[in-house]
Amino acid sequence: MAGSYKTENGLAHLRVKYSDRFYMGPGRADLLQGIVETGSIAASGKRMGMSYKRAWSLVQALNDGWGQPLVETSRGGAAQGGASLTADGQTVLRSYRAMQEATRGAIAEEFEAVTRRLVDISKAT
**What does the binding site for a copy of itself look like in residue numbers (CB under 8 A)?**
7-20, 22-23, 25, 66-68, 88, 91-92, 95-96, 98-99, 102-103, 105-107, 110-111, 113-115, 117-118, 121-122, 125
State phi, psi for 94 to the nearest 5 degrees. Answer: -60, -40
Spatial distance between the Cα atoms of 99 and 66, rounded to a whole number of angstroms: 18
Tell me the angle at which helices 26-38 and 52-66 cross, rounded to the nearest 10 degrees. Answer: 110
Q: Which of residues 14 and 48 has its CB atom nearest to a copy of itself in the complex?
A: 14
- Cβ atoms of residues 14 and 99 within 8 Å: yes
Q: Which of 52, 111 has the CB closer to a copy of itself?
A: 111
Q: Which is nearer to a copy of itself, 17 or 75 (CB)?
A: 17
